Structure 1
C-alpha cells in the first residue's frame, strides 16, 4: 500500500501524490519552445519555497522530454556544490557531469571562460535541454557567471538564422530550479530568464489535498472524515511538504500517537496530531522557515507582521520581504483594486513562529504568584474570570516591565514591537494556568492583523482578541470584528484585550463598557492593558 511522503521527491509507485499535469505540460512546452525545430526552447527559472514539489515536477518533465529523440535531455543536482566557493571548480564539476552523462569526446572544461565550448555544434551532436536543480545552492559569483554564459549563448542563438539543430550552439533550453530571488538573474539587462517564462510551483488546491486522502481511503479501507482534509488545507494552505507530513503523522503515527485503522480518521485525531505538530514535533521545512524568520534584518519584518494596527503592503522589490516570500515565511494576498498585502504563508507556520518568538523572548517570566496568594477571584474549578485574569497580567507586567523588556526586540525608535506584548501575555497565561487542565493556543483568522488567544478550561472555551489602541474609530471596528469572530466560534462572549501605553481611570470607565452586537447578539467585554511605566 502507498504511503504519504514528505521528504524528497515522491515516488509515483510508492506514495500518494497529485499529478499536477498542467504544470508538467507547461514545463515541457517552455523547454521545447513554440517552434522547437527553428527557434529552440526558452531559458527559464523554476521557483518555489522549499518542499513545494519543484524537483518532482521537473523530474516528470525530464522523463517526458527524454522520449523525444531530437534532443539530449539532462538534469543535474547541484546541492553538493553548496560548500564549494571557487567558481572555476564549480564549473569544472558541472562540465564533467555533462561530459560523462552525454559521453562527449575530445572536450575538457576547467574554467568559466571555457564553459561555452561545451555547447558547441560538433561537441554536441544534437540540441541539449539542460535542467540544473538546486541552482540557488551555488555562490552568487557562480550564479552570476553561469547566468552570463547562458545569456551569451541565448543571444548568439537568437542571431543565428539556422534551424535549432544547425545553430553554432546547441543549448536548446535551460531550466534553473531554485529560489528566484537567490537566482538574482531575472533583472539582469538582456537576460533570457524573464518573469514571463518563469515557472512558479504553487501550493496544492483544496481539491488536490482532498484527492490524496480519498486515494488513501480507497487503498486502506479506512474512512476519513471530511473535516480532516478541510482543516489540513486551512492550516497549511496546501503547502505540499506539510500536507504530506501531516498525512504521514495521521496514517502512520509517531511515538505519542498510534493510529487506530479499525475506525474512521476523525477531526479529533487531527486535533491531537496538530497540537503535537505545533508544540513538539520536528520538521525540516518548519525548522528551515524558522531559521530564515529569526535572522536579522528579516526578523523585524516578521515581528511587524504580527502587529494588529494595520496590514503591510507587499513589495517584491523590498529585499527583506522578497527573502521571506521566497523562503516560504510569508505569502501575499491580492486585494482587488488595492494591490497585495503580506500575510504569513499559512496558519500552521504562523503558530509555530508565534510559539518560537514567545518562548525565545520570554523564556523566564518571573514569579507569577505570591506565596499563599488567593486566586479564587480569577480561577475556580467551574471556570475563569477573564477580566480579573487580564488585570492580574497587567499588574505583573507593570511590576516586572523593566527587566522583562530589557532585551526585547525594538524598532529603530527604540519602541518595543507591538507583538512583544502579545507574546508576553501568551507566556503569562501559559504559566498562570500551568498546573491546571487548561489549554491555551493562538489563532490567526486572517493571516495578518488579527491575533486571538483561545483558552479551554473546565469544559468552557474562552476567546481573547488582542488589539492595540490607535483611535476611536479603529476601536469601534475592533469591537464588531471581535463579535464576528466569536460568532464564528459559536461563543456568546468574547474578551477584547486592548494594549495601550497609558490609560487613566476615566478612560477605563468610558471604554471598558460591554458591547452587544446587534446582528450576532455576541457580548464583547473590553479590557485595557497599560503597557507603559
Structure 2
C-alpha cells in the first residue's frame, strides 16, 4: 500500500505523487538543454526539487540523446574554506553518482588515479572535461544543494565550471543545472559572515535563467489527496480537502504530512471505513506544531538570524518594515517563510504563521512559574472573567522579569501574554493568531470548549497617541469576523518613565463603536 511521503525524494512505487516533470515547464527545460545553456533551479526545502531533478535525469537518459547525472554535493559543506578537502569530496561524489546512475566507473578510476595529482583549483574542471570527452553523447550535470557550500569552496566550484563553459559540449558538460534553496541569481559569495562579500557582482554570470519550483496549486493538492481515496476507498470530506489547502497553501511537505498523520497515524483516520474530516485535519495540524518536527524546527531556528529577525519582528508587531535590505526580504522568500502576493509580503501559510510566534514564546513559556488554573469552572469549562483576573494578577507579579526572557524585544509583551495563554489552553483548546505588516496590532483568538475569546494587542510607544480609539475600531472588525459580541483590547504601555508595571496594570469595561462589550486591559 502506498502512502504520503514526508521525507526524501518521492518513490512512485511507495508514495502517492504527482508527475514531477509536470511541476515545471519541461519544454522550456529541454530547450535550454538543446541550446547548451547553464541555469539555476531553486525552491524552499522539502518542496520536491530532488524528485524533479531525478525525474529529469531519468527522462534525459531514456531518450538516449544525453548522459545525464544527478549529484548531491551537500557533503562538501563541512569543508567550508578548505578547497582541497571540498574539491576532493565533490569529485568523489560525482564519481560515485556516475557509477550509481549510469554504471560508469571511469570517473571513479580517474579520481583515484589522475585526479589525485591535480591541484584542487583545477580538479573539478579536469574531471568534467574528462567525463564530457569520454562519450559522444553530450553530458548533462544536475548538481543539488550547491548553496550549502560556502566561501572559497563555492568560489572554486563556480570558477572551475565557468572556466570550462566555452569548451561545451565536446570538452565540458553541455548543460549544468545548479540547484538549492537560495536563488543565487547573482552568486554573491560570502565568508564567515553572510554580510561580508568575498566577491562583488556575479561569480556565475554564465547562467541563462533562474527557475523556481512552485508549491502545489489547489487543484494539485486535491489530486494528490484523492490518490489515497482511489487506492483505499477512504474519502476526504470537501471541508477536509479545503482545510488542507487553506492551512498549507500548497507547501508540498506540509500537504503530505497533514495527510499522512490524518490517514496513517490518528486512530480514527486509520479506519478506512470512516472519512477524513475537517476535525481530523485540524487534529493533525495541532500535533504537527506541538511536536516541532524537523521541517518546522529548521524554520524556527532561522528566527535567530538577524536578517530574519529584521523582517519577522515588525510583522509580528504589525509595524512597517522600515529600512530592511532587499536581500533580507529575498532571503525569507527563498526560504519559503514569506510569500509575495497582491496584498504585499505575508507569512507563507497559516501553519508557519502559527509556528513562528509560538516558537518565540517558547522561552517565556518555559520560564513561567507554576500557575493554578483558577480560570476553570467546576465542570472544566473556561470562565473568561476568572481568566482576566488571573492574567492581571500574573502580569503584575511576573510580567516585568518575563519580558526580559523574550527573544524579540519589540514584541516581548505579546510573547509573554501568548506564553500565559498557552498555559491556559494546555491541550484543551487552541490559540490562533493574525498579524501582518502595517496592521498595527496582533489579534488572538482563544478557543476552549464552547468559549471563543477574541483579543487585540496593541503597544503604546513614546511620541504616539493613546491607541485606544484605533484599537476599538480595529477590534470591532476582528470580532465581527469571529461572530462575537465582546472581546478584550490589551494595550501594553511601553513609554518611558511610567509607573511600575504592578501599579499601572488595570482593567475596565468599555463599549466599541459598534456596541460590543470590551474588556480594556492596560498593562
- TM-score w.r.t. the length of structure 2 is 0.80
Deviation, structure 1 residue 444 = 2.4
Residue 140 (1) aligns with residue 151 (2): yes
The verdict on how the C-alpha distance between 1:259 and 1:448 changes in structure 2, with shifts beyond 3 A counting, is farther
Match for residue 287 of structure 2? Answer: 276
Mapping for residues 46-61 of structure 1, pairs under 5 Å: 46-61=41-56
1:109 equivalent in alignment to 2:101: no
| Alpha carbons 1:119, 1:171 under 8 Å: kept | yes
The residue number in structure 2 matching 1:443 is 433
Aligned residues of 1:90 and 1:142 also touching (Cα < 8 A): yes
Does structure 2 conserve the Cα–Cα contact (< 8 Å) formed by 1:409 and 1:417?
A: no
Partner of 2:187: 185
Query: 1:421 corresponds to which residue?
Result: 413
- Distance in 2 (CA, whole Å) between partners of 1:11 and 1:79 is 21
1:19 alignment counterpart: 19
Aligned-pair Cα RMSD in Å: 3.7
1:481–1:57 CA distance, 2 compared to 1 (3 A) = farther
| Aligned ranges 1:172-251 → 2 under 5 Å | 172-180=174-182, 185=187, 188-189=201-202, 191-192=204-205, 194=207, 197-251=209-263
User: Tell me, which stretches of 5 or more residues in structure 2 are unaligned?
Assistant: 189-199
* Structure (1 or 2) with the greater helix fraction: 2
| Aligned mates of 1:214, 1:113 — CA distance in 2 | 51
For residue 363 of structure 2, the aligned residue among 348, 360, 365 is 360
Q: Indicate if the aligned counterparts of 1:344 and 1:447 stay in contact, CA closer than 8 A.
A: no
Alignment partners' CA distance in 2, 1:14 and 1:313: 48
Q: Give me the whole-angstrom Cα distance separating, in 2, the residues matched to 1:301 and 1:70.
A: 47
Q: Measured at CA, do residues 417 and 113 of structure 1 come closer, stay the same or move farther in structure 2, by a change above 3 Å?
A: same
Select the residue among 90, 95, 118 that pairs with 2:91: 95
Contact 2:23–2:214 (8 Å) recurs in 1 = no
CA distance in 2, matches of 1:291, 1:103: 41
1:193–1:243 Cα change, 3 Å: farther
Q: What per-residue deviation string (whole Å, max 9, x for no partner) do you get for residues 288-316 of structure 1?
A: 11222234564464334321344568753
Per-residue deviation, residues 137-161 of structure 1 (Å, max 9, x unmatched): 334322111111122222x25xxxx
In 1, the alpha carbon distance for the partners of 2:317 and 2:31 equals 47
Q: Which runs of 5+ in 1 are unaligned?
A: 158-163, 411-415
| TM-score normalised according to structure 1 size | 0.79
CA drift at 1:69: 2.9
Q: Select the residue among 26, 37, 42 that pairs with 2:37.
A: 42
Secondary structure at the aligned position of 1:513 is classed as strand
Runs of 4+ deviating beyond 6 Å:
507-511
How far apart are 1:32 and its partner, in Å?
Answer: 4.5
Match of 2:297 in 1: 287
Higher mean Cα deviation, 101-110 or 231-240?
101-110
In the aligned structure 1, how far is the partner of 2:333 from the partner of 2:366? Answer: 28
How far the C-alpha of 1:482 sits from its partner, in A, is 2.8
Length, aligned pairs only = 487
8 Å Cα contact 1:104/1:124 also seen in 2: no
